[in-house]
Amino acid sequence: MFTLLAKNEEETMELAAQLAQLLEPKDVILLEGNLGAGKTTFTKGLAKGLGIDTVIKSPTYTLIREYTKGRLPLYHMDVYRLEDVGGDDLGFEEYLYGNGVSVIEWAQFIKEELPDAYLTIRLVPTGEFFENREITFLPTGERYATLVETLQGILKEEGK
């Protein structure tokens, strides 16, 4: 686990783009944070880092948005609306075990569908005007512990 501070949306997106360089097929990222915490902004950075040159929109009303024109497909999910019903029989495994990267907001509502290993990224607005983001990386599983360690090393080399 490690935490760092992004001073604005641009820094949040840059960090996400750096993480994207390390991602592989079947990687699962869980984004935690209140409404307005920067989850979609972080996803925009991931998309940029994956070479996806498409407008990234929140999937709040569609559950899943797929972006396939990059180094890896990106599956952006917002499962908040499944709070009372869960994700049984909705086909999440096609995404989670497919050839792309799955980014899931509000994943606690489909925890039974999640793989054993994933990376949780918690975003917390801070600062006088909530312009900063405290970003915490919480790996679950060896793959993600190694991923976070590698990212930390890259950031340290860059003086961040």
* 125 located within any domain: yes
pLDDT in tens, the chain (160 residues): 999 999 999 999 999 999 999 999 999 999 999 988 999 999 999 999 999 999 988 876 678 899 999 999 999 998 876 555 444 555 678 888 889 999 999 888 888 889 999 999 999 999 888 889 999 999 999 999 999 999 999 999 988 7
Distance CA 59, CA 56 (A): 9
Structural domain boundaries, residue 41: 2-155
* 70 located within any domain: yes
Distance of CA 3 to the CA centre of its chain: 15
* 62 located within any domain: yes
Q: Which parts of 38-131 are beta strand (E)?
A: 64-67, 74-78, 101-105, 118-126
* 95 located within any domain: yes
pLDDT at 110: 81
* 141 located within any domain: yes
pTM (2 decimals)?
0.91
* 160 located within any domain: no
Please say whether the beta carbons of 142 and 18 come within 8 A. Answer: no
* 63 located within any domain: yes
| CATH code of residue 17 | 3.40.50.300
* The total number of structural domains that make up the chain: 1
pLDDT at 44: 97
